[in-house]
Amino acid sequence: MKIELLYFEGCPFWREGLAVLRGVLADEGLPQEIEMLEITGPEQAQVERFLGSPSFRVNGVDLWPEERERYTLTCRTYATPDGLKGAPTPDMLRERLIPRATRPD
């Protein structure tokens, strides 16, 4: 399983997203190998289909997919039970991550 966290340095939320991801992986006993992919410009954002920072991909698939015509350097928001936040809750991330983690490749 390949886990990626996509981010851009100017977003204040990616570190929180990384902490949530690490916590979920640890709680579930999953490998903690996370590939960090820094998005550094608009061209790379378009190529990577960057949905905002932080974004989480497993085996190349975004955990919260969305189609757009244009991809840019932006912070991403997640609809949590407590309103819009800059990172998903551990339960939200677990719900999306675990089914993909248990699928055979």
Give the pairing of strands 34-38 and 3-7.
parallel
Confidence of residue 104 (pLDDT cuts 50, 70, 90): low
CATH number for region 3-101:
3.40.30
Quick one: average pLDDT of 73-95? Answer: 97
Count, in order, helices (H) and strands (E) of the chain.
Answer: 3, 6
Question: In terms of Cα–Cα distance, which of 5, 23, 13 is closest to 94?
Answer: 23
Task: Determine the pLDDT at residue 24.
Answer: 96
pLDDT grade for 103, boundaries at 50, 70 and 90: low
